[in-house]
Chain A
Amino acid sequence: MKKTYKIDVDCANCANKMEAAANKTEGVKNASVNFMTLKMTVEFEDGSDPKAVMREVLKSCKRVEDDCEIFI
């Protein structure tokens, strides 16, 4: 399953950091952050709960870049 979320982040490099962090999160098959449109597209592993996974993704993103937000 694939879902797109709106995000808020200040710099292009921070967006890259968020993307790397999201990709390392369990339950995420592939994540990509588009700094241009401020959107994060997440492809979930089969059988995972997107809501729970996204909470984890937000946590890992906050860890690498404090000043970011994902509108889940």
Chain B
Amino acid sequence: MNKKQKKMLVRITASALLLIGLSFVPSEGLLRFALYLIPYLVIGYDILIKAAKGIKNRQIFDENFLMAVATVGAIAIAVTRNGDYTEAIAVMLFYQIGELFQSYAVGKSRRNISELMDIRPDHANIEVGGRLEQVDPDEVEPGTVIVVRPGEKIPIDGVVTEGSSSLNTSALTGESLPREVGEGGEVISGCINMTGLLKIRTTKEFGESTVSKILDLVENASSRKSRSEAFISKFARIYTPVVCALALALAVLPPLAMLAMGAPGGWGEWIYRALTFLVISCPCALVISIPLSFFAGLGGASRAGVLIKGSNFIETLSKTKCAVFDKTGTLTQGVFEVNGIHHNELEDEMLIEYAALAESASSHPISRSLLRAYGKTPDRSRVGNVREISGSGVIAEVDGSEVAAGNAKLMEHIGVEYKSCHSAGTIIHIAIDKKYAGHVVISDVVKPGSAGAVRALRDMGVKRIVMLTGDLRSAAEKTAAELGIDETYSGLLPAGKVDKVEELLASGQDGGKLAFVGDGINDAPVLSRADVGIAMGAMGSDAAIEAADVVLMDDDPAKIVTAIKISRRCLRIVYENIWFAIGVKLICLALGALGIANMWLAVFADVGVMIIAVLNAIRALFVKKMNG
């Protein structure tokens, strides 16, 4: 509890004790009024001041105004009727208890979240003359070697130059399994070094590092409001004046009608009913619990490694009916591996060696995977006269013989008969001195969680699952079949992906939203075009993270399922609160107008409903470990 809350607790206790004490003191008339005014002012003075300020600043209809009018009115009635001031004071007392409770609950959940998001490193260690010096991470230039001791956070992204250790990434990814790193491994800031001393050469400035990017994202998360929130604030703006008008009508019209009919007006009774009506009507439960639910939802999600950029995206995400996936890097590892060598006239190693050497000048992913399969650093001096045939492959001289490595088109181009391959993937044909030497199959590997994620998405009612890829049809269809995806569009250029997504958006069913999941640089336009763009892996491209609405901290596709589940749960809580609060209020309002409900019921309808709604909202914070 903070100072403000403690002060309020003291006021509540004092006022309650006074109220109980006074009930044993017999008093009458003005003395009684003066005595009871003490607990009332103790508990309610700030509300009265706020209400007065609100009127002065033309912000009349808020909950302070409602409470002030209701309690002052109740006191006025007590003066004229029976001298029972308890009700008025109790209303104020319970209102303040509710407020205190709410502020405590919010503070508690805020601490909960900020503790978990406590990934901001406060210093970096630099070795100066054999001694470690602590400096502000902001001052560390890229390329500096920093030292991270066990138990410390890695402050800046970089590459390990010395040492090995396991890293705790749970603050970033929600993943509890530690990650092992060794020399040459890339590390991202925000992870906690658990076991060994690491020396890291930084590759980025602090401001550009993962941890800064994530903090920036979380801190700006609530800037986009959901439709439910907009609805509630609009609702409150119309609702409060309407209720006040109704209360006024309830206080004035029936007595006037009675008088007109010649009966006694019964003013006291009707004013009492009107005041009850006012207390019940206070929209606190709604205006507090709805933003709080989203707040807790965003917090709970970031705890699970899902960063959502605004509560509007929680709403959109929960209505996802169509999920569009990019293939490479999203459903698959994005790491191409040599998966087969066929029809070779030479030994496997020789064939790979020739292919790797011929392609050694290129930085294409294919040539990189050939080099990986070769496993040695290519001796560039053996290669000469490299000609790249765009879109087909390369022809180069290796050890004096002409080596052609590329696709079927290249073989046709140089007039070599080749054997076509039935395996899916990219086929690199190799011809040496215009003689066919065999081919190498290179294909991507599907991520272990992909098939499970697709299945889980279908189970939760995502009707359409589509895969887009720039790859060839055969490779795309093989992956799709493996994962159980029935709609695939292959051979797409980045612009083609945007067109496809627009087509899917246009053909979508009413209300169903389209989510696009991607990672690559060329996905950024699609990410921003989709209803909700999900970028995978905080280590993916910066452009994708900026364009996306939801960022998954690690690149496990199962996190998409988690994200949708969290959003649906959050929305369900929001709707529960809306219906529950409005429902109870309407019933109590009707009872109040009919004179069945008294102030005590009114206090429950206001404070009780608020406390229940707040407790329900906080539930959104607790995300169960969800798999698949």
Closest to B46 in A: A67
Whether a CB of chain A sits under 8 angstroms from the CB of B292 is yes
| B interface bracket (residues with beta carbon within 8 Å of A) | 20 to 34
Please, which residues of chain B bring their CB within 8 A of the CB of A48? none
Whether a CB of chain A sits under 8 angstroms from the CB of B218 is yes
Please, which residues of chain B bring their CB within 8 A of the CB of A1? none
A16 touching B229 in the complex, CB below 8 Å, given contacts A35-B295, A63-B57, A66-B53: yes
Please, which residues of chain B bring their CB within 8 A of the CB of A37? 114, 218-219
Cβ-defined contact, B298 with A36, below 8 A: yes
A11 touching B103 in the complex, CB below 8 Å, given contacts A34-B219, A36-B110, A36-B222: yes
Q: Of the candidates A11, A13, A39, which one forms a contact with B219 in the assembled complex, judged by CB atoms under 8 Å apart?
A: A39
Please, which residues of chain B bring their CB within 8 A of the CB of A13? 233, 236, 287-288, 291
Cβ-defined contact, A64 with B287, below 8 A: no
Complex alpha-carbon distance, A11 and B49, angstroms: 18
Q: Of the candidates B221, B233, B288, which one forms a contact with A34 in the assembled complex, judged by CB atoms under 8 Å apart?
A: B221
Complex alpha-carbon distance, A39 and B110, angstroms: 12
Complex alpha-carbon distance, A38 and B106, angstroms: 11
Please, which residues of chain A bring their CB within 8 A of the CB of B292? 12
Please, which residues of chain B bring their CB within 8 A of the CB of A35? 222, 291, 295
Complex alpha-carbon distance, A34 and B219, angstroms: 7
Q: How far is the CB of A57 from chain B (nearest CB, A)?
A: 15
Interface flags for A1-30 (1: CB within 8 Å of B; 0: not) read 000100000111101100000000000000
Please, which residues of chain B bring their CB within 8 A of the CB of A4? 219
Q: How far is the CB of B59 from chain A (nearest CB, A)?
A: 6
Complex alpha-carbon distance, A52 and B239, angstroms: 36
Please, which residues of chain A bring their CB within 8 A of the CB of B103? 10-11
Q: Of the candidates B218, B220, B288, B299, which one forms a contact with A11 in the assembled complex, judged by CB atoms under 8 Å apart?
A: B288
Closest to A60 in B: B57
Q: How far is the CB of B601 from chain A (nearest CB, A)?
A: 24
Q: How far is the CB of B578 from chain A (nearest CB, A)?
A: 14
Query: Can you name 11 A-B residue pairings with CB atoms under 8 Å?
Result: A13-B291, A15-B291, A16-B229, A16-B233, A32-B223, A34-B219, A36-B113, A36-B295, A64-B59, A66-B49, A66-B54
CB-CB nearest 8 A-B residue pairs: A32-B223, A12-B291, A13-B287, A63-B57, A34-B222, A12-B292, A37-B219, A36-B295
